[in-house]
């Protein structure tokens, strides 16, 4: 019997039940934010948001809409838990990361509530594997309030061209500096690594630019290139916003 049509015993006791006919879609999304070991999961009737943070200064979110799942049920208004993202990704690829063409790994995910493990039922080719991942007390996450009224600069770039730009930068740099300006250099990427400082400048009419709206010069520093480049691999466009500080 296909996994998606099976019923887990006492399934009504679970506050979260979700099913996918192809787990690779979920795995790909989660890999995009896998730069820390643990993640916090928030489930509502709209879907599941997975949040990863680093030192309370960097945050990455992946939102899987309820419509992505073949079945999605949340018995409570919201369900929150913390989980080891590395272990979760290992379980999702338990049948291998390069499946035979035409075969898919189905997933049925169940969570009973606070203190209980996250249950994963994975099936491929008639073989079913059950994984139980211990959950933890969820930690408070940062609330980045990017109110549209505070946006002073907005730039949209093609991610493919941006990936090529990152490949030319010094990956030993601990920070990536991003400069946005209404005048030259317009858009600049800077690194400060073992080989010294390096800069890449792009004019506002570059083929890389989808949108350039810049009111004032702004310089921001973020995490190292290796992390930003890893996230870029999963997207086709990238949006940079310059937020005016609220005093």
CATH of the domain at 24: 3.70.10.10
Q: Tell me: do 116 and 89 sit in the same domain.
A: yes
Residue 236 clears pLDDT 50, i.e. is over it: no
Q: 41 or 245, which is more confident?
A: 41
Q: Tell me: do 30 and 106 sit in the same domain.
A: yes
Q: Tell me: do 130 and 195 sit in the same domain.
A: no
Domain boundary, last residue among 103, 136, 169:
136
Q: 11 or 226, which is more confident?
A: 11
Q: Tell me: do 169 and 197 sit in the same domain.
A: yes
Asked if the structure places residue 62 within a domain, the reply is yes
Domain limits at 175?
A: 153-238
Domain boundary, last residue among 136, 169, 194:
136
Q: 152 or 75, which is more confident?
A: 75
How much is the pLDDT for 55?
73
Could you report the per-residue pLDDT of 182-223, keeping only the tens digit for each?
999 898 888 888 878 888 888 888 888 888 888 889 888 776
Residue 119 clears pLDDT 90, i.e. is over it: yes
Question: Which CA distances in Å does 26 have to 64, 103, 106, 178, 183?
Answer: 8, 16, 11, 31, 41
Asked if the structure places residue 247 within a domain, the reply is no
Quote the longest CA-to-CA distance of the chain: 64
Asked if the structure places residue 58 within a domain, the reply is yes
Q: Is 166:193 a contact under the CB 8 Å cutoff?
A: no
φ, ψ of residue 93 to 5 degrees: the values are -105, 30
Q: Tell me: do 39 and 107 sit in the same domain.
A: yes
Average pLDDT over residues 69-97: 92
Q: Tell me: do 184 and 224 sit in the same domain.
A: yes
Range name among 24-28, 142-146, 174-178, 188-192 with the lowest pLDDT average? 142-146
How much is the pLDDT for 234?
46
Radius of gyration of the chain (CA): 21
Residue 168 clears pLDDT 90, i.e. is over it: no
Domain boundary, last residue among 86, 111, 136:
136
Domain count, the chain: 2
Q: Tell me: do 89 and 184 sit in the same domain.
A: no
Q: 16 or 161, which is more confident?
A: 16
Q: Tell me: do 111 and 212 sit in the same domain.
A: no
Asked if the structure places residue 243 within a domain, the reply is no
Q: Tell me: do 114 and 216 sit in the same domain.
A: no
Q: In the predicted model, what is the mean pLDDT of the chain?
A: 82
Residue 247 clears pLDDT 70, i.e. is over it: no
């Amino acid at each position: 019997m296909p996994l998606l049509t099976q019923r887990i015993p006492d399934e009504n006791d679970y506050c979260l039940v979700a099913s996918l006919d192809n787990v690779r879609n979920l795995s790909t999304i989660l890999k995009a934010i896998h730069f820390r070991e643990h993640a916090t999961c928030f489930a509502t009737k709209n879907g599941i948001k997975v949040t990863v943070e680093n030192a309370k200064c960097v945050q990455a979110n992946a939102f899987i809409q309820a419509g992505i799942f073949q079945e999605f049920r949340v018995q409570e208004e919201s369900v929150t838990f913390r989980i080891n993202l590395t272990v979760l990704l290992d379980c999702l690829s338990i049948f291998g990361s390069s499946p035979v063409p035409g075969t898919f790994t189905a997933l049925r995910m169940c969570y009973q509530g606070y203190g209980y493990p996250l249950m994963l039922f994975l099936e491929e080719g008639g073989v079913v594997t059950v994984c139980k991942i211990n959950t933890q007390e969820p930690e408070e996450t940062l609330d980045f309030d990017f109110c549209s009224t505070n946006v002073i600069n907005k730039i949209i770039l093609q991610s493919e061209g941006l990936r090529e730009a990152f490949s030319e930068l010094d990956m030993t740099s601990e920070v990536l500096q991003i400069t946005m300006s209404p005048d030259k250099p317009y858009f600049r990427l800077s690194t400060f690594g073992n080989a010294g400082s390096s800069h890449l400048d792009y004019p506002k009419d570059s083929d890389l630019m989808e949108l350039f709206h810049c009111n004032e010069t702004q310089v921001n520093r973020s995490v190292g290139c290796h992390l930003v480049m890893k996230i870029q691999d999963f997207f086709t466009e990238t949006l940079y916003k310059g937020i005016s500080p609220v005093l």
